[in-house]
Amino acid sequence: MVKVYAVALVAGVIALIIVLMGGALASNLGREGWDPGAGIGDAGKATIGALVGFGMGGISAEFSPLDLAWPVSLAIALGAAALSAFWVRYAVRQREA
């Protein structure tokens, strides 16, 4: 399962870097149409947050000194993914308000 968490974390971090750097580049060049964050919308941003949360939560649970079983680690990872997606949606709504 560690490999699954690692792949999710790497994919989420790469997507996060692309959205952040692409948005900064689009803003600096004055081409708002190039902003990948605007293109993926709120659902895409929440998906990136869920990927990062799933990977971080799963890896943290797997390498916990408590020696958790893999179903417990998976439950922790899914909880972290849900909380991360919720937090991203909350943050996006706060920024738009």
pLDDT tens column, 10-63: 999 999 999 999 999 999 999 888 899 889 999 999 999 999 999 999 999 999
Report the C-alpha gap between 96 and 82 in whole angstroms: 21
Q: Is 40 helix (H, G, I), strand (E, B) or coil?
A: helix
Confidence of residue 96 (pLDDT cuts 50, 70, 90): confident
pLDDT tens column, 65-92: 998 999 999 999 999 999 999 999 999 9
Contacts of residue 25, defined as CB under 8 A and 6 or more positions apart, other chains included, come to 34
